[in-house]
Structure 1
Amino acid sequence: MAVVIVIPARHASTRYPGKPLVELRGAGGQARSLIRRSWDAARQVQGAGRVIVATDDARIADHAAAFGAEVTMTSADCRNGTERCAEVLAGLPERPEMIVNLQGDAPLTPPWFIEDLIAGLRAAPDADAATPVLNCTGAMRADLLADRAAGQVGGTTAVFGAGGQALYFSKEVIPFVPGDVAPDAPSPVFHHVGVYAYRPEALEAYAGWPEGALERLEGLEQLRFLENGRRMLCVRVEARGRAFWELNNPSDVPRIEAMMAAMGMG
Protein backbone atom coordinates (compact mmCIF):
# COMPACT_ATOMS: atom_id res chain seq x y z
CA MET A 1 0.00 0.00 0.00
CA ALA A 2 1.91 3.02 -1.26
CA VAL A 3 -0.13 6.19 -0.67
CA VAL A 4 -3.41 6.64 1.18
CA ILE A 5 -5.29 9.94 0.95
CA VAL A 6 -7.32 10.85 4.02
CA ILE A 7 -9.87 13.68 3.98
CA PRO A 8 -10.51 14.73 7.60
CA ALA A 9 -13.88 16.43 8.05
CA ARG A 10 -15.61 17.73 11.16
CA HIS A 11 -18.96 19.43 11.54
CA ALA A 12 -18.09 21.55 14.57
CA SER A 13 -15.85 24.12 12.91
CA THR A 14 -15.31 27.24 15.02
CA ARG A 15 -15.33 29.64 12.07
CA TYR A 16 -17.83 27.81 9.88
CA PRO A 17 -19.98 25.10 11.53
CA GLY A 18 -21.22 22.46 9.11
CA LYS A 19 -18.69 23.53 6.46
CA PRO A 20 -18.14 20.07 4.86
CA LEU A 21 -21.83 19.90 3.90
CA VAL A 22 -22.00 23.38 2.37
CA GLU A 23 -22.97 23.20 -1.29
CA LEU A 24 -20.91 24.84 -4.02
CA ARG A 25 -22.33 25.49 -7.47
CA GLY A 26 -20.11 24.85 -10.45
CA ALA A 27 -20.05 26.29 -13.94
CA GLY A 28 -23.22 24.48 -15.01
CA GLY A 29 -25.09 25.36 -11.85
CA GLN A 30 -24.66 21.87 -10.41
CA ALA A 31 -24.49 21.90 -6.62
CA ARG A 32 -22.18 19.51 -4.79
CA SER A 33 -21.10 19.57 -1.18
CA LEU A 34 -17.64 20.75 -0.17
CA ILE A 35 -16.70 17.27 1.06
CA ARG A 36 -17.89 15.73 -2.24
CA ARG A 37 -15.80 18.18 -4.26
CA SER A 38 -12.76 17.48 -2.07
CA TRP A 39 -13.28 13.74 -2.59
CA ASP A 40 -13.60 14.28 -6.34
CA ALA A 41 -10.30 16.19 -6.27
CA ALA A 42 -8.58 13.36 -4.34
CA ARG A 43 -9.73 10.72 -6.82
CA GLN A 44 -7.98 12.54 -9.68
CA VAL A 45 -4.56 12.06 -8.07
CA GLN A 46 -2.35 9.65 -9.98
CA GLY A 47 -0.51 7.10 -7.88
CA ALA A 48 -2.78 7.17 -4.83
CA GLY A 49 -4.42 4.02 -3.56
CA ARG A 50 -7.31 4.46 -1.15
CA VAL A 51 -9.20 7.68 -0.50
CA ILE A 52 -10.82 7.76 2.96
CA VAL A 53 -13.13 10.35 4.49
CA ALA A 54 -12.39 10.52 8.22
CA THR A 55 -15.01 12.09 10.46
CA ASP A 56 -16.60 11.91 13.89
CA ASP A 57 -19.97 13.17 12.67
CA ALA A 58 -22.76 10.83 11.48
CA ARG A 59 -24.21 13.50 9.16
CA ILE A 60 -20.94 13.79 7.26
CA ALA A 61 -20.41 10.02 7.31
CA ASP A 62 -23.87 9.29 5.90
CA HIS A 63 -23.54 11.97 3.24
CA ALA A 64 -20.10 10.74 2.15
CA ALA A 65 -21.17 7.11 2.06
CA ALA A 66 -24.17 8.08 -0.08
CA PHE A 67 -21.93 9.38 -2.87
CA GLY A 68 -19.68 6.32 -2.68
CA ALA A 69 -16.82 7.38 -0.43
CA GLU A 70 -15.01 5.04 1.92
CA VAL A 71 -15.61 6.41 5.43
CA THR A 72 -13.77 5.82 8.70
CA MET A 73 -15.33 7.04 11.93
CA THR A 74 -12.78 8.64 14.22
CA SER A 75 -12.81 9.90 17.78
CA ALA A 76 -14.45 13.20 18.71
CA ASP A 77 -11.31 13.80 20.82
CA CYS A 78 -9.15 14.43 17.72
CA ARG A 79 -8.04 18.06 17.94
CA ASN A 80 -7.18 18.46 14.28
CA GLY A 81 -7.00 16.68 10.95
CA THR A 82 -3.48 15.36 11.52
CA GLU A 83 -4.59 13.55 14.68
CA ARG A 84 -7.56 12.21 12.72
CA CYS A 85 -5.16 10.91 10.04
CA ALA A 86 -3.06 9.24 12.74
CA GLU A 87 -6.15 7.42 13.97
CA VAL A 88 -6.91 6.21 10.43
CA LEU A 89 -3.30 5.02 10.07
CA ALA A 90 -3.58 2.99 13.27
CA GLY A 91 -6.56 1.12 11.82
CA LEU A 92 -5.09 0.26 8.41
CA PRO A 93 -4.32 -3.43 7.80
CA GLU A 94 -1.10 -2.59 5.94
CA ARG A 95 1.46 0.12 6.63
CA PRO A 96 1.45 2.61 3.74
CA GLU A 97 4.47 4.40 2.33
CA MET A 98 2.84 7.69 3.30
CA ILE A 99 -0.44 9.26 4.34
CA VAL A 100 -1.69 12.34 2.50
CA ASN A 101 -3.98 14.67 4.40
CA LEU A 102 -6.24 16.53 1.96
CA GLN A 103 -8.25 18.82 4.18
CA GLY A 104 -11.89 18.95 3.21
CA ASP A 105 -11.98 22.72 2.66
CA ALA A 106 -9.81 22.85 -0.47
CA PRO A 107 -11.99 21.77 -3.43
CA LEU A 108 -9.86 23.74 -5.90
CA THR A 109 -6.72 21.72 -5.12
CA PRO A 110 -5.49 20.45 -8.52
CA PRO A 111 -4.20 16.87 -8.65
CA TRP A 112 -0.67 17.92 -9.61
CA PHE A 113 -0.29 19.76 -6.28
CA ILE A 114 -0.67 16.42 -4.50
CA GLU A 115 1.34 14.48 -7.07
CA ASP A 116 4.22 16.96 -6.75
CA LEU A 117 3.91 16.76 -2.95
CA ILE A 118 4.22 12.97 -2.99
CA ALA A 119 7.22 13.17 -5.32
CA GLY A 120 8.82 15.84 -3.13
CA LEU A 121 8.62 13.74 0.05
CA ARG A 122 9.91 10.68 -1.78
CA ALA A 123 12.93 12.70 -2.94
CA ALA A 124 13.71 13.96 0.58
CA PRO A 125 14.39 10.93 2.81
CA ASP A 126 15.42 13.17 5.74
CA ALA A 127 12.02 14.95 5.82
CA ASP A 128 9.31 13.75 8.20
CA ALA A 129 6.45 15.45 6.39
CA ALA A 130 5.84 17.75 3.46
CA THR A 131 3.33 20.40 2.43
CA PRO A 132 2.81 22.42 -0.77
CA VAL A 133 3.38 26.17 -1.07
CA LEU A 134 2.22 28.41 -3.89
CA ASN A 135 3.97 31.66 -4.77
CA CYS A 136 1.50 34.54 -4.41
CA THR A 137 1.09 37.12 -7.12
CA GLY A 138 0.68 40.70 -6.00
CA ALA A 139 -3.08 40.34 -6.45
CA MET A 140 -3.27 37.21 -4.30
CA ARG A 141 -1.15 38.84 -1.60
CA ALA A 142 -3.47 41.86 -1.68
CA ASP A 143 -6.49 39.54 -1.17
CA LEU A 144 -4.82 37.95 1.85
CA LEU A 145 -4.01 41.37 3.32
CA ALA A 146 -7.57 42.59 2.68
CA ASP A 147 -9.00 39.63 4.59
CA ARG A 148 -6.67 40.27 7.52
CA ALA A 149 -7.64 43.97 7.53
CA ALA A 150 -11.28 42.87 7.71
CA GLY A 151 -10.52 40.61 10.69
CA GLN A 152 -10.74 37.38 8.68
CA VAL A 153 -8.22 34.67 7.89
CA GLY A 154 -8.13 34.26 4.13
CA GLY A 155 -5.28 31.80 4.10
CA THR A 156 -2.05 30.69 5.73
CA THR A 157 1.40 31.77 4.59
CA ALA A 158 4.72 29.94 4.88
CA VAL A 159 8.37 30.88 5.11
CA PHE A 160 11.09 28.35 4.41
CA GLY A 161 14.85 28.15 4.15
CA ALA A 162 17.49 26.27 2.22
CA GLY A 163 16.28 23.04 0.67
CA GLY A 164 12.66 24.00 1.33
CA GLN A 165 12.87 23.41 5.08
CA ALA A 166 9.85 25.00 6.75
CA LEU A 167 10.74 27.78 9.19
CA TYR A 168 7.27 28.99 10.15
CA PHE A 169 3.61 29.09 9.14
CA SER A 170 1.23 31.89 10.08
CA LYS A 171 -2.27 33.18 9.53
CA GLU A 172 -0.66 36.58 9.25
CA VAL A 173 0.75 37.52 5.85
CA ILE A 174 4.49 36.87 6.18
CA PRO A 175 7.16 37.90 5.41
CA PHE A 176 6.64 41.64 5.68
CA VAL A 177 6.97 43.26 2.25
CA PRO A 178 7.54 47.02 2.10
CA GLY A 179 5.44 48.73 -0.54
CA ASP A 180 3.11 47.27 -3.15
CA VAL A 181 3.62 44.43 -5.60
CA ALA A 182 2.18 44.64 -9.12
CA PRO A 183 -0.96 42.45 -9.42
CA ASP A 184 0.54 40.02 -11.93
CA ALA A 185 4.06 40.00 -10.50
CA PRO A 186 5.37 37.31 -8.12
CA SER A 187 5.71 38.41 -4.51
CA PRO A 188 7.97 37.05 -1.72
CA VAL A 189 4.83 35.63 -0.04
CA PHE A 190 3.95 31.94 -0.31
CA HIS A 191 0.42 30.70 0.28
CA HIS A 192 0.40 27.47 2.25
CA VAL A 193 -1.81 24.90 0.54
CA GLY A 194 -3.68 22.87 3.16
CA VAL A 195 -2.38 19.45 2.17
CA TYR A 196 0.20 17.33 4.00
CA ALA A 197 2.13 14.15 3.30
CA TYR A 198 3.45 12.27 6.33
CA ARG A 199 5.75 9.35 6.79
CA PRO A 200 3.91 6.84 9.02
CA GLU A 201 6.46 7.01 11.85
CA ALA A 202 6.23 10.82 11.95
CA LEU A 203 2.44 10.71 12.03
CA GLU A 204 2.51 8.19 14.87
CA ALA A 205 4.93 10.39 16.83
CA TYR A 206 2.74 13.46 16.26
CA ALA A 207 -0.24 11.78 17.89
CA GLY A 208 1.77 11.32 21.09
CA TRP A 209 2.96 14.92 21.44
CA PRO A 210 0.99 17.51 23.42
CA GLU A 211 -0.45 20.47 21.57
CA GLY A 212 2.26 23.10 21.14
CA ALA A 213 2.05 26.71 22.30
CA LEU A 214 2.53 28.13 18.80
CA GLU A 215 0.13 25.58 17.35
CA ARG A 216 -2.49 26.73 19.83
CA LEU A 217 -1.94 30.43 19.19
CA GLU A 218 -2.00 30.20 15.41
CA GLY A 219 -4.50 27.36 15.17
CA LEU A 220 -2.13 25.60 12.75
CA GLU A 221 -1.61 21.89 13.33
CA GLN A 222 1.61 21.64 11.27
CA LEU A 223 3.47 23.81 13.79
CA ARG A 224 3.54 20.84 16.17
CA PHE A 225 6.13 19.22 13.90
CA LEU A 226 8.33 22.33 14.00
CA GLU A 227 7.92 22.74 17.75
CA ASN A 228 9.18 19.19 18.22
CA GLY A 229 12.22 19.64 16.00
CA ARG A 230 10.94 17.60 13.09
CA ARG A 231 11.71 18.56 9.50
CA MET A 232 8.80 19.60 7.33
CA LEU A 233 9.51 20.15 3.66
CA CYS A 234 7.81 22.96 1.73
CA VAL A 235 7.27 21.79 -1.84
CA ARG A 236 6.80 24.59 -4.35
CA VAL A 237 3.90 23.91 -6.71
CA GLU A 238 2.76 25.76 -9.82
CA ALA A 239 -0.79 26.99 -10.41
CA ARG A 240 -0.54 26.43 -14.19
CA GLY A 241 -3.24 29.03 -14.67
CA ARG A 242 -5.59 27.48 -12.09
CA ALA A 243 -7.08 29.75 -9.45
CA PHE A 244 -6.68 28.52 -5.88
CA TRP A 245 -8.44 29.47 -2.66
CA GLU A 246 -9.56 27.60 0.45
CA LEU A 247 -12.99 27.80 2.03
CA ASN A 248 -12.38 29.24 5.48
CA ASN A 249 -15.32 31.63 5.92
CA PRO A 250 -18.90 31.89 4.57
CA SER A 251 -17.76 34.84 2.46
CA ASP A 252 -15.41 32.47 0.57
CA VAL A 253 -18.34 30.58 -1.01
CA PRO A 254 -19.16 33.14 -3.74
CA ARG A 255 -15.45 33.70 -4.37
CA ILE A 256 -14.82 29.99 -4.93
CA GLU A 257 -17.99 29.56 -7.01
CA ALA A 258 -16.84 32.44 -9.24
CA MET A 259 -13.43 30.79 -9.63
CA MET A 260 -15.09 27.47 -10.53
CA ALA A 261 -17.28 29.18 -13.10
CA ALA A 262 -14.30 30.95 -14.66
CA MET A 263 -12.41 27.66 -14.94
CA GLY A 264 -15.43 25.78 -16.31
CA MET A 265 -15.57 23.39 -13.34
CA GLY A 266 -18.99 21.73 -13.17
Structure 2
Amino acid sequence: MSVLIVIPARYASHRYPGKPLVPLKGANGHSRTLIQRSWEAAMAVENVDRVVVATDDSRIRTEAESFGAEVVMTSAACANGTERCAEAHARIGGGYEIVVNLQGDAPLTPTWFVSDLVEGLHTDQDAEIATPVLRCDGRALATLKDDRADGRVGGTTAVFDRFKRALYFSKEVVPYTATVYAPEAETPVFHHVGVYAYRATSLAKYPSWPHGPLERLEGLEQLRFLENGRYVLCVEVEARGRLFWELNNPQDVNRIESMMAEMGIE
Protein backbone atom coordinates (compact mmCIF):
# COMPACT_ATOMS: atom_id res chain seq x y z
CA MET A 1 0.00 0.00 0.00
CA SER A 2 1.30 3.47 -0.87
CA VAL A 3 1.90 5.56 2.23
CA LEU A 4 2.12 9.32 2.69
CA ILE A 5 3.15 10.87 6.01
CA VAL A 6 1.78 14.34 6.68
CA ILE A 7 3.10 16.42 9.60
CA PRO A 8 0.43 19.04 10.34
CA ALA A 9 1.85 22.10 12.08
CA ARG A 10 0.23 25.39 13.01
CA TYR A 11 1.65 28.41 14.77
CA ALA A 12 -1.53 29.60 16.48
CA SER A 13 -1.89 26.87 19.10
CA HIS A 14 -4.28 27.91 21.87
CA ARG A 15 -2.23 26.30 24.64
CA TYR A 16 1.23 26.95 23.24
CA PRO A 17 1.53 29.55 20.43
CA GLY A 18 4.54 29.00 18.19
CA LYS A 19 5.01 25.46 19.44
CA PRO A 20 6.47 23.99 16.20
CA LEU A 21 9.39 26.44 16.39
CA VAL A 22 10.28 25.69 20.02
CA PRO A 23 13.91 24.44 20.31
CA LEU A 24 14.50 21.09 21.96
CA LYS A 25 17.95 20.31 23.31
CA GLY A 26 19.29 16.81 22.65
CA ALA A 27 21.65 14.70 24.71
CA ASN A 28 24.63 16.36 23.02
CA GLY A 29 23.43 19.82 24.05
CA HIS A 30 22.50 20.86 20.51
CA SER A 31 19.02 22.26 19.86
CA ARG A 32 16.72 21.63 16.91
CA THR A 33 13.17 22.87 16.57
CA LEU A 34 10.20 20.69 17.39
CA ILE A 35 9.11 20.62 13.74
CA GLN A 36 12.57 19.46 12.62
CA ARG A 37 12.66 16.69 15.22
CA SER A 38 9.17 15.58 14.17
CA TRP A 39 10.24 15.56 10.50
CA GLU A 40 13.33 13.51 11.36
CA ALA A 41 11.10 11.00 13.18
CA ALA A 42 8.90 10.72 10.08
CA MET A 43 11.84 10.32 7.71
CA ALA A 44 13.13 7.41 9.79
CA VAL A 45 9.99 5.31 9.16
CA GLU A 46 10.55 2.50 6.66
CA ASN A 47 8.40 1.78 3.60
CA VAL A 48 6.98 5.28 3.34
CA ASP A 49 6.64 6.85 -0.10
CA ARG A 50 6.60 10.54 0.83
CA VAL A 51 6.78 12.91 3.81
CA VAL A 52 5.37 16.45 3.79
CA VAL A 53 4.89 19.22 6.35
CA ALA A 54 1.43 20.81 6.13
CA THR A 55 1.07 24.31 7.56
CA ASP A 56 -0.71 27.63 7.10
CA ASP A 57 2.12 29.74 8.49
CA SER A 58 5.04 31.20 6.55
CA ARG A 59 7.34 31.06 9.60
CA ILE A 60 6.90 27.30 9.86
CA ARG A 61 7.31 26.96 6.10
CA THR A 62 10.62 28.86 6.20
CA GLU A 63 11.92 26.75 9.08
CA ALA A 64 10.85 23.46 7.49
CA GLU A 65 12.36 24.28 4.12
CA SER A 66 15.62 25.29 5.84
CA PHE A 67 16.27 21.68 6.83
CA GLY A 68 15.03 20.18 3.55
CA ALA A 69 11.40 19.29 4.25
CA GLU A 70 8.77 19.37 1.53
CA VAL A 71 6.03 21.82 2.57
CA VAL A 72 2.38 21.96 1.53
CA MET A 73 0.56 25.19 2.37
CA THR A 74 -2.95 24.61 3.66
CA SER A 75 -5.85 26.78 4.79
CA ALA A 76 -5.94 28.55 8.14
CA ALA A 77 -9.56 27.38 8.33
CA CYS A 78 -8.57 23.77 9.06
CA ALA A 79 -10.12 22.89 12.41
CA ASN A 80 -7.52 20.27 13.33
CA GLY A 81 -4.66 18.15 12.05
CA THR A 82 -6.93 15.59 10.39
CA GLU A 83 -8.59 18.26 8.28
CA ARG A 84 -5.14 19.62 7.42
CA CYS A 85 -3.99 16.14 6.35
CA ALA A 86 -7.07 15.77 4.15
CA GLU A 87 -6.38 19.11 2.47
CA ALA A 88 -2.66 18.38 2.06
CA HIS A 89 -3.39 15.03 0.40
CA ALA A 90 -5.83 16.70 -1.97
CA ARG A 91 -3.42 19.56 -2.76
CA ILE A 92 -0.63 17.22 -3.85
CA GLY A 93 -3.06 15.41 -6.14
CA GLY A 94 -4.03 12.46 -3.94
CA GLY A 95 -3.09 9.00 -5.09
CA TYR A 96 -1.97 7.50 -1.78
CA GLU A 97 -3.87 4.62 -0.19
CA ILE A 98 -2.81 5.37 3.40
CA VAL A 99 -2.23 8.82 4.85
CA VAL A 100 -0.42 8.97 8.19
CA ASN A 101 -0.87 11.96 10.47
CA LEU A 102 2.36 12.21 12.46
CA GLN A 103 1.56 15.21 14.57
CA GLY A 104 4.19 17.88 14.85
CA ASP A 105 4.30 17.74 18.66
CA ALA A 106 5.41 14.12 19.02
CA PRO A 107 9.12 13.95 18.14
CA LEU A 108 9.71 10.89 20.34
CA THR A 109 7.31 8.72 18.29
CA PRO A 110 9.10 5.41 17.61
CA THR A 111 9.17 4.36 13.95
CA TRP A 112 7.48 1.03 14.65
CA PHE A 113 4.37 2.81 15.94
CA VAL A 114 3.72 4.05 12.40
CA SER A 115 4.61 0.74 10.79
CA ASP A 116 2.25 -1.09 13.15
CA LEU A 117 -0.61 1.22 12.18
CA VAL A 118 -0.13 0.61 8.47
CA GLU A 119 0.02 -3.13 9.13
CA GLY A 120 -3.16 -2.84 11.23
CA LEU A 121 -5.08 -1.33 8.31
CA HIS A 122 -3.65 -3.95 5.98
CA THR A 123 -4.85 -6.75 8.29
CA ASP A 124 -8.24 -5.29 9.25
CA GLN A 125 -9.93 -4.18 6.06
CA ASP A 126 -12.99 -2.90 7.94
CA ALA A 127 -11.09 -0.28 9.93
CA GLU A 128 -11.13 3.23 8.50
CA ILE A 129 -8.48 4.65 10.80
CA ALA A 130 -5.85 3.12 13.06
CA THR A 131 -4.19 4.77 16.04
CA PRO A 132 -1.67 3.48 18.61
CA VAL A 133 -2.30 2.88 22.29
CA LEU A 134 0.45 2.25 24.80
CA ARG A 135 -0.22 0.55 28.13
CA CYS A 136 0.84 2.87 30.94
CA ASP A 137 3.24 1.72 33.58
CA GLY A 138 2.96 3.18 37.06
CA ARG A 139 5.33 6.02 36.23
CA ALA A 140 3.36 7.13 33.15
CA LEU A 141 0.02 6.84 34.94
CA ALA A 142 1.31 8.94 37.85
CA THR A 143 2.40 11.62 35.37
CA LEU A 144 -1.03 11.69 33.75
CA LYS A 145 -2.74 12.00 37.13
CA ASP A 146 -0.32 14.70 38.31
CA ASP A 147 -1.03 16.76 35.19
CA ARG A 148 -4.77 16.58 35.75
CA ALA A 149 -4.45 17.34 39.47
CA ASP A 150 -2.44 20.46 38.60
CA GLY A 151 -5.00 21.56 36.00
CA ARG A 152 -2.81 20.77 32.98
CA VAL A 153 -4.08 18.97 29.90
CA GLY A 154 -1.47 16.27 29.46
CA GLY A 155 -1.73 13.04 27.53
CA THR A 156 -4.92 11.44 26.21
CA THR A 157 -6.20 8.04 27.30
CA ALA A 158 -8.18 5.47 25.31
CA VAL A 159 -10.62 2.67 26.07
CA PHE A 160 -11.54 -0.02 23.55
CA ASP A 161 -13.37 -3.33 23.29
CA ARG A 162 -11.86 -6.83 23.07
CA PHE A 163 -11.65 -6.49 19.28
CA LYS A 164 -9.52 -3.35 19.73
CA ARG A 165 -12.32 -1.12 18.42
CA ALA A 166 -12.20 2.27 20.09
CA LEU A 167 -14.96 3.06 22.57
CA TYR A 168 -13.75 6.47 23.72
CA PHE A 169 -10.80 8.83 24.00
CA SER A 170 -10.44 11.40 26.76
CA LYS A 171 -8.13 14.01 28.21
CA GLU A 172 -9.23 12.72 31.58
CA VAL A 173 -7.62 9.54 32.91
CA VAL A 174 -9.93 6.66 31.97
CA PRO A 175 -10.77 4.10 33.13
CA TYR A 176 -10.83 5.27 36.72
CA THR A 177 -8.45 3.48 39.08
CA ALA A 178 -7.63 4.42 42.66
CA THR A 179 -4.76 1.93 42.87
CA VAL A 180 -1.25 3.28 43.35
CA TYR A 181 1.08 1.28 41.09
CA ALA A 182 4.81 0.74 41.35
CA PRO A 183 6.73 2.71 38.70
CA GLU A 184 7.43 -0.34 36.51
CA ALA A 185 4.09 -2.10 37.09
CA GLU A 186 1.50 -2.56 34.33
CA THR A 187 -1.73 -0.61 34.76
CA PRO A 188 -5.18 -0.88 33.12
CA VAL A 189 -4.82 2.59 31.58
CA PHE A 190 -3.74 3.09 27.95
CA HIS A 191 -2.05 6.27 26.78
CA HIS A 192 -3.33 7.26 23.35
CA VAL A 193 -0.42 8.22 21.12
CA GLY A 194 -1.41 11.05 18.78
CA VAL A 195 -0.59 9.35 15.49
CA TYR A 196 -3.19 8.29 12.94
CA ALA A 197 -3.20 6.18 9.79
CA TYR A 198 -6.26 6.81 7.63
CA ARG A 199 -7.60 5.15 4.56
CA ALA A 200 -7.49 8.01 2.07
CA THR A 201 -11.12 7.42 1.07
CA SER A 202 -12.31 7.97 4.66
CA LEU A 203 -9.95 10.89 5.26
CA ALA A 204 -11.41 12.73 2.25
CA LYS A 205 -14.89 12.52 3.80
CA TYR A 206 -13.86 13.63 7.29
CA PRO A 207 -14.09 17.43 6.81
CA SER A 208 -17.72 17.10 5.69
CA TRP A 209 -18.86 15.15 8.76
CA PRO A 210 -20.61 17.15 11.50
CA HIS A 211 -18.71 18.12 14.63
CA GLY A 212 -20.28 16.33 17.58
CA PRO A 213 -20.53 17.49 21.20
CA LEU A 214 -17.83 15.09 22.40
CA GLU A 215 -15.29 16.38 19.90
CA ARG A 216 -16.10 19.94 21.00
CA LEU A 217 -15.88 19.16 24.71
CA GLU A 218 -12.68 17.10 24.62
CA GLY A 219 -11.00 18.90 21.75
CA LEU A 220 -10.02 15.52 20.27
CA GLU A 221 -10.25 15.22 16.50
CA GLN A 222 -10.52 11.41 16.46
CA LEU A 223 -13.86 11.59 18.26
CA ARG A 224 -15.44 12.81 15.02
CA PHE A 225 -14.90 9.32 13.64
CA LEU A 226 -16.64 7.72 16.62
CA GLU A 227 -19.48 10.24 16.72
CA ASN A 228 -20.18 9.50 13.06
CA GLY A 229 -20.23 5.74 13.58
CA ARG A 230 -16.83 4.97 12.04
CA TYR A 231 -14.58 2.10 13.03
CA VAL A 232 -11.40 3.26 14.76
CA LEU A 233 -8.84 0.50 15.30
CA CYS A 234 -6.65 0.80 18.40
CA VAL A 235 -3.30 -0.85 17.78
CA GLU A 236 -1.50 -1.77 20.97
CA VAL A 237 2.17 -0.92 20.58
CA GLU A 238 5.20 -1.67 22.71
CA ALA A 239 7.60 0.94 24.00
CA ARG A 240 10.62 -1.42 23.77
CA GLY A 241 12.34 0.64 26.43
CA ARG A 242 11.64 3.96 24.71
CA LEU A 243 10.19 6.84 26.71
CA PHE A 244 7.36 8.74 25.06
CA TRP A 245 5.56 12.03 25.60
CA GLU A 246 3.94 14.71 23.45
CA LEU A 247 4.71 18.39 23.79
CA ASN A 248 1.35 19.76 24.95
CA ASN A 249 2.36 22.52 27.37
CA PRO A 250 5.45 24.67 27.96
CA GLN A 251 6.22 22.50 31.00
CA ASP A 252 6.67 19.52 28.66
CA VAL A 253 9.85 20.96 27.11
CA ASN A 254 11.97 20.03 30.13
CA ARG A 255 10.22 16.68 30.38
CA ILE A 256 10.95 15.77 26.76
CA GLU A 257 14.53 17.06 26.93
CA SER A 258 15.09 14.91 30.02
CA MET A 259 13.71 11.89 28.16
CA MET A 260 15.98 12.55 25.17
CA ALA A 261 18.97 12.85 27.49
CA GLU A 262 18.03 9.59 29.22
CA MET A 263 17.71 7.78 25.87
CA GLY A 264 20.81 9.42 24.36
CA ILE A 265 18.88 11.10 21.55
CA GLU A 266 21.00 13.86 20.06
TM-score (normalised: structure 2): 0.98
- 1:101 match: 101
Distance (whole Å) between structure 2 residues aligned to residue 265 and residue 138 of structure 1: 24
Aligned position for 1:219: 219
Deviating more after overlay: 35-44 vs 94-103: 94-103
Q: Which residue of 2 aligns with 1:11?
A: 11
Q: 1:198 and 2:191 equivalent?
A: no
List runs of 5+ in structure 1 lacking aligned partners: none
- Cα distance, 1:210 vs. partner? 2.3
Residue correspondence of structure 1 range 63-82 to structure 2 within 5 A: 63-82=63-82
- Cα distance between partner residues in 2 of 1:69 and 1:264: 24
Shift of 1:183: 1.4
Q: Deviations over 1:171-223 (max 9, x none)?
A: 00000013212211110000000000000111011111122210010000000
Question: Shift in Å at residue 95 of structure 1?
Answer: 1.5
Cα distance in 1 for partners of 2:171, 2:244 equals 17
Q: Does 1:187 align with 2:187?
A: yes
Q: CA RMSD in A?
A: 0.9
**What is the distance in 2 between the residues matched to 1:120 and 1:182?**
31
**Corresponding position of 1:43:** 43
Aligned to 2:265: 265
Question: How many pairs are equivalent?
Answer: 266
1:174 aligned residue: 174
Tell me the alpha carbon deviations over residues 138-166 of structure 1, each in whole angstroms, 9 at most, x when there is no partner.
11101000000000011000000021100
Moved more, 141-150 or 113-122: 113-122
Tell me the secondary structure at the aligned position of residue 164 of structure 1: coil
| Letter of the structure 1 residue corresponding to residue 107 of structure 2 | P
In structure 1, the partner of 2:235 is 235
Give the aligned residue type for 1:112. W
Counterpart of 1:156 in structure 2: which amino acid? Answer: T
Separation in 2, partners of 1:149, 1:265: 30
CA deviations 1:78-99 (Å, max 9, x no partner) are 0000000010121233411100
Pairs within 5 Å for 1:122-133: 122-133=122-133
- CA distance in structure 2 between the aligned counterparts of 1:115 and 1:44, rounded to whole angstroms: 11
Cα distance in 2 between the residues matched to 1:146 and 1:37: 27
* SS at structure 1 position matched to 2:196: strand
Query: For 2:101, what is the secondary structure of its paired residue?
Result: strand
Moved over 6 A (4+): none
Distance 2:38 2:66 in 1: 15
SS in 1 for 2:95: coil
Tell me the residue number matched to 1:138. 138
- 1:162 is matched with 162
For 1:213 and 1:36, the matched residues in 2 are separated by 34
Aligned to 1:91: 91
SS of 1:139's equivalent in the other structure is helix
Q: Which range is displaced more, 117-126 or 221-230?
A: 117-126
Percentage of pairs with the same residue: 65
